[in-house]
Amino acid sequence: MHQTTDWWAYDGTLHAPIAAALRGACSCGWRATALHALDWQEVAAEGPDWYDTSGPEADWDQHITDVEHRTVPVPEDVLVLLAQLRAHLETLAAEAPLAALRAVAALEYPLAEAARTAARNARADDQPWDTIATALGLTEPDTRTRLHRYARQP
């Protein structure tokens, strides 16, 4: 059977194994140690969209909180500006989509330039890839890919 992360697909049909429990997981490779029993009768009665997955979700939330605590902080004033910009762009996209596209286009070059400079400076410091990955909250392969992509931007 083709593998999927959709837990409800492992109900024993279509030659799929039957899942006995749910466990939180992340694209970084992290897997929770806690297993949360799965009640297929309740899934059948309520449907997978209504099944209580709060246990694995709480485990994942804790993992993300732990990752965030290890990352380099973004200055508060930058976070405020980014939140304001995002809100304005969302409003503009709904009310004046062409103006929103012009605004996004105006941001592309300065963002690419800042990304290129930051990526090159991060590597110029000769910091190990795992240190950079931890600071960014990414896996080492994802960090390498991202920084190489940033460094190549025009």
pLDDT tens digits for 35-83? 999 999 998 888 889 999 999 999 999 999 999 999 999 999 999 999 9
- With 0.75 as the threshold, say if the pTM is over it: no
Domains of the chain: which residue ranges? 7-70, 76-152
Collapse the DSSP code of 25 into the 3-class scheme (helix H, G, I; strand E, B; otherwise coil) and give the result: strand
Distances (CA, A) of 23 to 28, 65, 147: 15, 17, 31
Collapse the DSSP code of 111 into the 3-class scheme (helix H, G, I; strand E, B; otherwise coil) and give the result: helix
pLDDT beyond 90 at 142: yes
The pLDDT mean for the chain works out to 91
Question: Which range, of 16-20, 82-86, 99-103, averages the lowest pLDDT?
Answer: 16-20
Cβ atoms of 138 and 129 within 8 Å: the answer is no
